[in-house]
Amino acid sequence: MTGGRVDFRLKPVRFADLPGWETDDSSAVLPAMMACLAHITEVKPYRTGSLGLSASDLLPLIDDARQFNPRDPASMRTFFEERCQPFHIEPLDGSSGLVTAFYEPEVAVSSRPDGDYRFPFYHRPADLIDLDETNRPAFIDASYAFARGNGGAISLYPERREIDEGYLDGQGLEIAWAKSKVDVFFAHVQGAARLRYPDGRIQRITYAGKAGHAFSGIGRLLIDLGEIPEAQISMQSIRGWLTKNPERVDEILWHNRSYIFFREAEVDDLGKGPIAAAKVPLVAGRSLAVDRQIHTFGFPFFIHAENLTHLDGGAPFARLMLALDTGSAIVGAARGDIFTGSGDAAGDLAGAVRNAADFYILIPKQAAARFV
């Protein structure tokens, strides 16, 4: 089977074949399942990925969950076992799956720029347009979902360096200003942030669009330049290197031509995660960003990563998760990004995750018959 940009197959397996399934307490996914149900039925269905699973395929499962009250972890597992068929997602090139992680950073900001607060978070510009098959010029690669629209002309949008050097100046798009360009950059990587103002007020911002250019990881650049050994690469080691080499910050950050724009999001409950691409609150440790070209939001995945142990007190990571977000760096059927929560502690957890993993998708039995 070919999905999106990666060839893979779905191999039907038993729940007993899922390493760690028998000890997982997946009841934490229920609130997100209910939120997905509300979005699908009251707002609009999620877009179907190339795998071919639709919101209609998901509805029987999440509708049953609405009336389900688990007595214990075993009863929650039985709920899925009775209604779903698990499939192992196997890349045809023999590679393993890969998980990384993301979090919601908290950034100190000001509503006005000054000598300390100099680096803006921007709203989406008016000249940023969505691309699809109806308006994409032949010279713009199919991987670009956004471009610059100027009257009837469509062109590539300015990249990170051009925006940093003033392309958006004078348009009144600034949401707030941070003290650190690096903080802004890592909020771009995460796609969301909590902004803390000097008076203690907190505002959430979330993804509203991007300049269109492909994401290019600066960790790989620093490895290739011989600045950080590959075995030591993490968000923490990258931040440490940038702190020690301020004269090279622009050089390194501009390597990633991608640029993210934001919108304000309501902060009705800081105990809940940010609203991401599936338009429901993320649940720490149970929300997965997936390749949206292949997968459909709301579907359950079981992720097993034998060597990912720091998220579960030394035990291998083995959890049921829901596909609730996406990202430009998440490419492939067996590729995912684990949401670890909000704030610095969550960032410490997320920054060290880059592990081989087995991906299993749980498909409601009626729909699963199409894949057996």
pTM of the model: 0.85
Please state the domain count of the chain: 2
Q: How far apart are CA 372 and CA 363, in angstroms?
A: 11
So what's the pLDDT on residue 4? Answer: 43
Determine the pLDDT at residue 77: 98
Helix H or strand E encompassing 206 = strand 202-210
Same domain? For 320 and 234 the reply is: no
pLDDT of residue 294: 96
Q: What is the mean pLDDT of the chain?
A: 94
Are residues 133 and 32 part of one domain? no
Residues 6+ apart with CB under 8 A from 183: 105, 107, 119
CATH number at residue 364: 2.40.40.10
Q: Which residues neighbour 169 within 8 Å (Cβ) at sequence distance 6 or greater? A: none
For 82-113, the DSSP string reads HHEEEEEEEETTSPPEEEEEEEE-EEEEESS-
In terms of domains, do 194 and 62 share one?
no
297/160 same-domain check = no
Are 126 and 253 members of one domain?
yes
- pLDDT score at 267: 66
* pLDDT of the residue at 15: 98
Residue 219 above 80 pLDDT?
yes
Examine the domain organization and report whether 184 and 38 are in the same domain: no
Radius of gyration of the chain (CA): 21
Residues 111 and 238 in one domain: yes
324: nearest Cα among 358, 285, 266, 277: 277
Task: Check residue 61 and give its pLDDT.
Answer: 97
Range with the poorest average pLDDT among 4-8, 78-82, 198-202, 326-330: 4-8
User: Bridge partners of 84?
Assistant: 364
302 and 321 belong to one structural domain: yes
Residue 372 has pLDDT above 90, yes or no: no
- 227, 245, 265 - which closes a domain: 265
Residue 331: domain span: 2-101+273-368
Q: Which is it for the CA torsion 65, 69, 71, 73, positive or negative?
A: positive
Of the residues 206, 239, 265, the one at which a domain ends: 265
Strand duo 317-325 + 287-289: pairing:
parallel
Per-residue pLDDT at 3:
42
Q: What is the mean pLDDT of residues 55-73?
A: 96
Q: What residue ranges in 219-299 does DSSP mark as E strands?
A: 260-265, 287-289
More confident site: 329 or 223: 223
The pLDDT-based confidence of 89 (bands split at 50, 70, 90) is very high
Give dist(CA 109, CA 353) in Å, integer: 27
Helix/strand/coil percentages in the chain, nearest 5:
25, 30, 45
Pairing mode, strands 174-178 and 153-155: unpaired
Q: Distance between the two ends of the chain, CA-based, in angstroms?
A: 12
Q: Which residue, of 209, 235, 265, is where some domain finishes?
A: 265
CATH of the domain at 204: 2.40.240.50
Q: Is the dihedral of CA 296, 261, 131, 257 positive or negative?
A: negative
pLDDT on residue 2: 42
Report pLDDT for 50.
94
CB-count exposure of residue 126 (10 Å: 0-12, 13-18, 19+): exposed
